[in-house]
Structure 1
Amino acid sequence: MKYKAYKYIVDFEKEEKWLNEMANKGMNFIDYSLPCRYLFEEGNPGEYTYRLELLNNSPNHPESRAYIKFMEEAGAELVSTYFRWVWFRKKSSDGPFDIYSDNSSKIKHYKRVAWFVGLAGLANLVVGLFNFLYGFFISGPQYNYYFNAYISPISFTVAIICIIPFISYIKRIAILTKDSRIHE
């Protein structure tokens, strides 16, 4: 039996945790699509361990295809892709499943994710400001384009939602960098 869940998660580690909690209940993740739709199928509890990754390029790019093939040769299965995000799973019986084994690769991934989330937040901030200014000041009441001003809070809200994980990722980068220096 298949089960759909709609969940908005900005932090990829929280998403991983949730997917693994679902897998521990016997609900195996099999697909993702917008708007924030996760598709699960019933399986054995704890059968899989899930990991997410933001690739440097789209999954169809030759470098990404080579990386995905490498992961599959290492025993991981590509479950789903969206934009540059990929979801992998591996049988729990095969042992621990970690994509990054050292701090430098974790730092690189956190930087990619921070830039991704930060740019999304900045873009929404710019769109929100444009809509606010256009709706109230540029078009003016004679054109009755207040609609733009009324939708600007949506963009501002998305920008604020993006700031929280962005700051969290920056903090994690700082902690990992400090930890790397200590171990050098």
Structure 2
Amino acid sequence: MLKFKLYYDKDEEEDWLRTMSLNGWAFKKFFLGFYTFQQCEPGEYSYQIDLLDNWKGDKEEYASFMEEAGIEVIGQWWRWVYLQKKAVDGPFEMYTDVESKIAQYSKIEKFFKVFLAVEIIIFFIELVGTITTGSYIIGIFTVVLAVISFSILKLVLKCKRKIQQFKREEI
């Protein structure tokens, strides 16, 4: 089965993949918003999504390390890695202690801050273009960029809240 969805939020994406597994669909492949699934026993797999420090790292070493832990690397899209583990093998949580959770969400926050800065710059360029030309088409692109920027800002703020929550737990 092939499904199309766009996610900016890794937690929501993991929840959706978990729900698909509970409904008997194992995640097999991802490319540009297209998710490929194949039938499985309901709840057979658990999923996690990891953000690598950089996308040029030793992918084979990472996959080998995960395999030793009973985790299968389903795929990678840029720096995001999709991981799968058999549910019968126990709970699947990549980051279990507070410090590693803070580090992971800090990494995600920084990742999206870069995109937010780029989107805001492009938004203002488009806005100036819309104002100077009065073009409706450029105006539509400006609105789309504003929506994308707002969505990314929401993610950055969500990461900040999660980090603050983890820091409170740490105390």
Whether the 8 Å CA contact 1:132–1:150 is kept in 2: the answer is no
Counterpart selection for 2:161 from 171, 177, 183:
171
Whether the 8 Å CA contact 1:12–1:52 is kept in 2: the answer is yes
d(CA) in 1 for partners of 2:7, 2:137 = 28
* Alpha-carbon distance, 1:134 to partner: 2.8
Give the unaligned 5+ runs of structure 1: none
CA-to-partner distance for each residue in 1:89-121, whole Å, 9 max, x for gaps? 011111111111211111111011112222222
d(CA) in 1 for partners of 2:21, 2:140 = 41
Counterpart selection for 1:33 from 31, 34, 37:
31
TM-score (norm 1): 0.86
* Alpha-carbon distance, 1:8 to partner: 1.9
CA-to-partner distance for each residue in 1:122-177, whole Å, 9 max, x for gaps? 2111101101113423xx57xxx664344111111100011112111100001111
Question: Could you say which residue in structure 2 is the equivalent of 1:13?
Answer: 11
Counterpart selection for 1:159 from 143, 149, 155:
149
Extract structure 1 runs of 4+ deviating beyond 6 A. none
Q: Secondary structure at the match of 2:104?
A: helix
* Alpha-carbon distance, 1:46 to partner: 1.0
d(CA) in 2 for partners of 1:134, 1:150 = 11
d(CA) in 2 for partners of 1:83, 1:27 = 24
Pairing 1:132–2:130 present = no
Q: Secondary structure at the match of 1:50?
A: strand
Question: Could you say which residue in structure 2 is the equivalent of 1:24?
Answer: 22
When the two chains are superposed, the root-mean-square deviation of aligned CA atoms in Å is 1.7
What letter corresponds to residue 96 of structure 1 in structure 2? P
d(CA) in 2 for partners of 1:146, 1:165 = 29
State, as a whole percentage, how many aligned pairs show the same letter: 27
- For these two proteins, the number of residue pairs brought into alignment is 171
TM-score (norm 2): 0.92
* Alpha-carbon distance, 1:10 to partner: 1.7
Counterpart selection for 2:57 from 42, 58, 61:
61
Change in CA separation of 1:25 and 1:150 when aligned onto 2, cut-off 3 Å? closer
What letter corresponds to residue 79 of structure 1 in structure 2? I
* Alpha-carbon distance, 1:16 to partner: 0.5
The higher radius of gyration belongs to 1
What letter corresponds to residue 143 of structure 2 in structure 1? P
